[in-house]
Amino acid sequence: MTSQASAPSKVILFGEHFVVHGVKAILASINKRVKISSKKIEEKSVIVKSNIGSIKIPLHESVKNIRTPFRPFFFIVKHSLNEFGFNHGVEVLIESGVPVGVGLGSSSSCCVAAAASISGLFTKFSRDKILELAINAEKTIFPNSSGADCTVCTFGGLIEYDKKNGFKKIESQPNFFLVIANSGKTHSTTKTVAKVMKFKEGNDSVFADLCKKESQLVEEAIFSLKQNDLQAMGKSMNENQKYLEQIGVSNKKLDSMINLAQKTAYGAKLTGAGDGGCIIALTDETNLDKTMKNFEGMYECFSTKIDYAGLDTF
């Protein structure tokens, strides 16, 4: 028996970094997916195979001793075997269409799909239960994870998130394309968050004012999303980018890419931690191709739409 699951990746539309300091963020799942296939095996090991490498880990190992990006998969298998009393191993195959380490939620979508696929060998969990397992798995690599990425990868569509109130689904289905261009530079979220903290400590009143502006901008963006007002939403994206530049998480390469995108798109900004990774540009059918051509021959670039389906099991 093979248990399969697929989960979308994500982008942060608004609020990255400021969300750490209590401001609301808006996240969207996108139709770039990870597929996970799992099967029981006689060998008492966890075998993980992917296009970035493979690993075999004996079941007697402790999760905390595993020093590999595949640690969340080992965690999910161990948790499932203990819960359902299975005394053998599991083989996991990862098929991903999501670039790694560039702010598109590759690890979160993998954790969600793996939680569904591996647990599916034994039972059918609810989405809420799968989400809980996925967040705990992701925390084996990112201990301070808010769970926002896993949430949007599980349920799809758009969500708003803040530290005080948690998650709330944005019940709207606006119709637009996002052009995503990859700078080709991976980044460290931990290092970039630390950089922002240093900026805050040295510019306390400036940062407080930026948080206030960002909070207002996010509310305006939610209204624009619900109205499918791409002109207003694009304007908010451009303004958000200025705030991100001010706190030091953009760079010359990202600025150049954003300037390229803004020539034809409604708006553009970096997404995720910054200091590398990807930029997103807001388009529709009228300016999609023009915006894609801006990056032709220079950067990996693709178009996406919001994925409203979320987690799928089969």
> Angle 230-246/252-262 helices, nearest 10 degrees?
160
Q: Which residues are catalytic, by number?
A: 149
DSSP annotation string for the chain: -EEEEEEEEEEEEE-TTGGGGT--EEEEEEEEEEEEEEEEESSSEEEEEETTEEEEEETTS-GGG--STTHHHHHHHHHHHHHHT--SEEEEEEEE-S-SSSSS-HHHHHHHHHHHHHHTTT----HHHHHHHHHHHHTTT-TT--SHHHHHHHH-SEEEEETTTEEEEE------EEEEEE-S----HHHHHHHHHHHHHHSHHHHHHHHHHHHHHHHHHHHHHHHT-HHHHHHHHHHHHHHHHHTT---HHHHHHHHHHHTTSSEEEEESS-SSSEEEEEE-TTTHHHHHHTTTTTSEEEEE-B--S--EE-
Give the Cα separation of 257 and 28 in Å (integer): 21
Q: How far apart are CA 223 and CA 61, in angstroms?
A: 50
